[in-house]
Structure 1
Amino acid sequence: MGEQKCVLNSCCCGCSLRSGSLAIGIVGLVLSVIAAIYSIIRGVNGDTQGWIDMAVQLIEVVICIILIQGIRTDHRGMVMVWVWVSAIMIAINIVLVIIGIILTLNIIFAIIAFIVFGVAVYCILVVRSYALTLGGSGSVA
């Protein structure tokens, strides 16, 4: 068909796409669990936004578990679920950050946010590239 766009051959520092994807899944899982605990603490202390954040973080925990399991079983569909959900979450966050930047005119926040978005997009490219190496549905019999 056509040539694949934005496909990487290896992860940072030359490690394999599989190892990089697994590291992304594990780090994402740990950070999401920590963020969920922090959100629960905020919710218990009376901040309603903490409960909303906790729900989002729990969804992220589930998605990271799906990614890790997809990598373990070489299941392309499970890996691509993480790619799509992460891409949607980044798109929503970019819109929210742009609105926040317009309202506050905080340049330091803008710089930090777009560096974080750059790293997140790179992670999505690594995991997507790994999923493309799996080919087919990736189901294990």
Structure 2
Amino acid sequence: MTLLLNQCCCGCSLRTGTVIIAVFLLTVALMTTVYASVVLGTYAEVANDDPKPYEYPMDYLDRLHQRMTYEPGFKLVLISTLVGSSIQCVLNSLLLLGVSKERRSLLLTWLVSYTILLGLCILGFVIGFFRVPFSPVYQIAVFVNIVLYTYFLLVVRSYRFTLPDGQHAAMLIGGEETNIKPVFLQ
């Protein structure tokens, strides 16, 4: 049995809900990209002992220096965050383009990519139980991400099912009468 929605949670159409999801996720990805870039730049300045004291509060520089000293993977986390959020910017832009052009293939690209991301979130949730020390805040944040990504995937997938496939659309444009019926939600 396939689970499909007729409308988004706020009562708007699936198309509108998909646009809202794309804009929301694009905004979050852009903010994350900017944040990771700024912190990585600051990290580079602190690593080179070249901080500009008038630009950063001292407590921020101290915390960053401590993380740099005691967490050797911190720079790798920043770089992977920067790369991941940049990829999400591209994917969410493709989702917006797919909605505006009604291209099922672009929606499928987003669906596959975010299904992989959901799998990684679930993996992070499971691994989080074995972290020492256990962080309930981390677990709650990852759980909320899992719930949101699952709902977002369901909305976009449902919207994709309302779009005609390429063969049907081509036959409609040609003006020929066919026996092919589009799939509509009940």
The TM-score, its normalising length taken from structure 2, stands at 0.68
Q: What's the C-alpha RMSD, in Å, of the aligned pairs?
A: 1.9
User: Shift of residue 93 of structure 1?
Assistant: 2.0
SS of residue paired to 2:105: helix
* Structure (1 or 2) with the larger CA radius of gyration: 2
Alpha-carbon distance in structure 1 between the residues aligned to 2:9 and 2:121: 24
Find the counterpart in structure 2 of residue 12 from structure 1. Answer: 9
User: Shift of residue 107 of structure 1?
Assistant: 3.0
Matched, 1:115 2:112: no
User: Shift of residue 102 of structure 1?
Assistant: 1.6
Unaligned ranges ≥5, structure 2: 44-73, 174-186
Alpha-carbon distance in structure 2 between the residues aligned to 1:99 and 1:42: 26
On the 8 A contact 1:32/1:60 being kept in 2, the answer is: yes
Which deviations, in whole Å up to 9, do the C-alpha atoms of 1:43-75 show, x marking residues without a partner?
112252212211111100000000000000000
Q: Percent identity?
A: 25
On the 8 A contact 1:101/1:109 being kept in 2, the answer is: no
Unaligned ranges ≥5, structure 1: none
Find the counterpart in structure 1 of residue 166 from structure 2. Answer: 137
SS of residue paired to 1:7: coil
Alignment length (residue pairs): 138
Alpha-carbon distance in structure 2 between the residues aligned to 1:60 and 1:126: 18
Alpha-carbon distance in structure 1 between the residues aligned to 2:11 and 2:128: 36
Alpha-carbon distance in structure 2 between the residues aligned to 1:37 and 1:18: 29
On the 8 A contact 1:77/1:137 being kept in 2, the answer is: no
Task: Assess, with a 3 A threshold, how the Cα gap between structure 1 residues 111 and 52 changes in structure 2: closer, same or farther.
Answer: closer
1:1-141 to structure 2, matched below 5 A, reads 5-46=2-43, 47-48=74-75, 49-103=77-131, 104-137=133-166
